[in-house]
Amino acid sequence: QKEVEQNSGPLSVPEGAIASLNCTYSDRVSQSFFWYRQYSGKSPELIMSIYSNGDKEDGRFTAQLNKASQYVSLLIRDSQPSDSATYLCAVRLTGGGNKLTFGTGTQLKVEL
Amino acid sequence: DAGVIQSPRHEVTEMGQEVTLRCKPISGHNSLFWYRQTMMRGLELLIYFNNNVPIDDSGMPEDRFSAKMPNASFSTLKIQPSEPRDSAVYFCASSLQANYGYTFGSGTRLTVV
């Protein structure tokens, strides 16, 4: 089992819909979780961080964390074509010090 | 703040040549990370430094790769000799504290022919 797993997609959603991106991780006691957005040919950009169980909202983005089930998700409301990108889940695994372990990313396509 | 600055943006070199990638972290950040990204393997951590000290270099592929951080504002990743399989995008990132996310540089696209 990979330490951080994501469905590679592509996930296609119509403009205005809710996009739901999921990530599972192997380390039950991990404490820090991050979502990055990466446009084609660009560097990853941090969009959300979450540390406690439950939901965290920031504008159109909501991160959800369930430590018992070892998954973290990202919801994008009112999806726009400009949201089309690859979304990377990153976890600070126990014993990993300060490093983040990234999933391979989910490609999101928002269609007009 | 200028962000994390990497140079060069693109590098094309011949197999067997030495390649040096450079990174200037955000001022005040005490952790610096070198990642490599390929389509096949995604983002892989090569090495990271805390307060200029290498902490984890388990991701460095082999002895051909080396990294240094002589001071808080500069780091290099060197590949000698380079091979075609080293072709990838190399990212440098920095962070302020252990529980924060990273800020990535723009990356260096390396092509070894």
What is the rounded (10 degree) CA torsion for B82, B85, B87, B90? -80
Contact A36 B101 (CB under 8 A): yes
**Residue range A93-98: mean pLDDT, rounded:** 79
Q: Is A45 on the interface with B (CB under 8 A)?
A: yes
Contact A44 B105 (CB under 8 A): no
Which residues in chain A touch residue B105, judged by CB atoms under 8 angstroms apart?
A: 43
End-to-end Cα spacing for chain B: 36
The confidence score (pLDDT) of residue A18 equals: 97
The confidence score (pLDDT) of residue B3 equals: 94
Q: Is B74 on the interface with A (CB under 8 A)?
A: no
Query: Mean pLDDT of successive 10-residue segments in chain B (113 residues)?
Result: 92 97 96 94 93 93 94 97 97 85 96 98
For B8, the 3-state DSSP assignment is: coil
Distance to chain B for A1, nearest Cα, Å: 15
Distance to chain A for B99, nearest Cα, Å: 7
Which residues in chain B touch residue A32, judged by CB atoms under 8 angstroms apart?
A: 99
User: pLDDT per residue over A24-81, tens digit each?
Assistant: 999 888 889 999 999 999 999 999 999 999 999 999 999 999 999 999 999 999 999 9
The confidence score (pLDDT) of residue B2 equals: 81
Spatial separation of the C-alpha atoms in residues A14 and A78, rounded to whole Å: 9
Q: Is A89 on the interface with B (CB under 8 A)?
A: no
**Residue range A89-97: mean pLDDT, rounded:** 85
Which residues in chain A touch residue B99, judged by CB atoms under 8 angstroms apart?
A: 31-32, 51, 92
Nearest residue to A84 (alpha-carbon basis) of A33, A17, A5, A29: A17
